Copies of this chain bind each other. A is one copy, B any other.
Amino acid sequence: MEHNLLRFSGVIEKIFPRRMSPAGVAHQDFLMRHRSKQTEAGAAREVQLVLKVHVAADTANSLMAFGLGDRVIAMGFLASASHRDPEQLVLHAQSLHRQD
């Protein structure tokens, strides 16, 4: 079995327009800004990054409860943004929760 599971929290920084697929499934992307302190080789280090998140169907509907500046936790799999841009990674979130 292959493993590709990311649990990731941050602040919603940008929400792109919602799109409907020909089959009537909702799709939407948004940007999350993440800041955390991590430990590597016994040393603390600051991590800061912006990650594009893709949501579809029910998870896209759950995005409607959130807005810019909200803190959320997303969980899902990483994939390349596109064949043209395989290096840019996108988190395909399968769950989205408010972070208290």
Contacts and interface: CB of A to CB of B under 8 A. Distances in A.
Interface of A: 2-10, 25, 27, 34-42, 47-51, 56-58, 73, 77-80, 86-89, 92, 94
Nearest to A3: B9
Given A3-B7, A4-B8, A73-B3, A86 B38 contact: no
B40 A8 contact: no
What is the predominant secondary structure among interface residues of chain A facing chain B?
strand
A56 to B, nearest CB: 4
A48 B8 contact: no
Contacts of A89: 49, 51, 89
A40 B88 contact: no
